Amino acid sequence: GSHNDDIIIMENVKKRFGDFWALKGITTRVKRQEVVVIIGPSGSGKSTLIRCINHLEKHDEGRIIVDGIELSHDVRNIEAIRREVGMVFQQFNLFPHMTVLDNITLAPRIVRKWPREKAEKLAMELLERVGIADQAHKYPGQLSGGQQQRVAIARALAMQPKIMLFDEPTSALDPEMIKEVLDVMRELARSGMTMVVVTHEMGFAREVADRIIFMDAGQIVEEGTPEHFFTNPRHERTKLFLSQIL
């Protein structure tokens, strides 16, 4: 395919914190509708990598192009990219003093200037989709962790992003909540959303990922299909990591 198929392009991306290089030259591409799972040990740069995609961290070297927009430090580009990229974190980061419905309608109403009625109609459709329409008028503190994370996903989707980034979305959840969040993510993948997911959930990676990237020490060590990873990893570091996590 042409370059147009690549919705995210990273070329030799480097990021440092002081003297420490958290990303040492990342080159990879994500195709439209592709689901990429990033795995790797703690501190390997997974969060830094996905935070660079929507400029929550500024990369120091290399190029990042999202849907044809070069991620420079030009604030107009940053805003344009942030509108296209939804993000879900380990901590749900919901506004505790606002209802579920208001959490979801806030950005569409403020950023896109949608009237309340239009924003609430979309919000209810999204809550339906993530299976918690009946919780719309509650406050986040009244919900379980799994329900809160599903609100966070609905909130990100309310901006109608082209790409969804997930940074360990189930790591803060009790085991019984993990499945309900992964089910929502699985449905999102099936619907054709482009997704980049940092997770330790190897079952999800195996079933849902089109491609898995293994990172270590700020570099991509190995990338390939789940089949490749789980049957025939090439590198010793990959084998060691998989043997520890599986």
**Minimum CB separation from ligand ADP for residue 238, in Å?**
15
**Minimum CB separation from Mg ion for residue 88, in Å?**
13
**Contacts of 78 by beta carbon, 8 Å cutoff, 6+ apart:** 55, 71
Q: Name residues contacting Mg ion, limited to 21-60 (CB under 5 A).
A: 47
22 or 189, CB closer to ligand ADP? Answer: 22
The phi-psi region of residue 38 (left if phi > 0; otherwise alpha if psi is between -120 and 50; otherwise beta) is beta
**Minimum CB separation from ligand ADP for residue 55, in Å?**
14
- Count how many Cα atoms sit within 13 Å of the Cα of residue 68 in the half-sphere of its side chain: 5
**Minimum CB separation from ligand ADP for residue 63, in Å?**
19
**Minimum CB separation from Mg ion for residue 50, in Å?**
9
Q: How far is CA 206 from the centre of its chain?
A: 17
46 or 150, CB closer to ligand ADP? Answer: 46
**Contacts of 197 by beta carbon, 8 Å cutoff, 6+ apart:** 35, 36, 37, 38, 165, 166, 169, 185, 204, 209
Q: Which of ligand ADP, Mg ion, none sits in contact with 48, Cβ below 5 to 8 A by type?
A: ligand ADP
Q: Which residue has the tokens 């790409």?
A: 163
SS (H, E, C) 67-85: CCEECCCCHHHHHHHHHHE
Q: Which of ligand ADP, Mg ion, none sits in contact with 40, Cβ below 5 to 8 A by type?
A: ligand ADP
Binding residues for Mg ion, rule CB under 5 A, total: 1
Q: Which residue has the tokens 């979309």?
A: 122
Q: By CB under 5 A, tell whether 147 contacts Mg ion.
A: no
**Minimum CB separation from Mg ion for residue 39, in Å?**
11
Q: Which of ligand ADP, Mg ion, none sits in contact with 42, Cβ below 5 to 8 A by type?
A: ligand ADP
120 or 216, CB closer to ligand ADP? Answer: 216
Q: How many helices (H) and strands (E) does the chain have?
A: 9, 10
Please report, as ranges, the residues that interact with ligand ADP according to CB under 6 A: 17, 22, 40, 42-48
Instruction: Give alpha helix (H) positions in 138-174.
Output: 145-157
6 or 167, CB closer to ligand ADP? Answer: 167
Instruction: Provide the binding-site residues for Mg ion, judged by CB under 5 A.
Output: 47
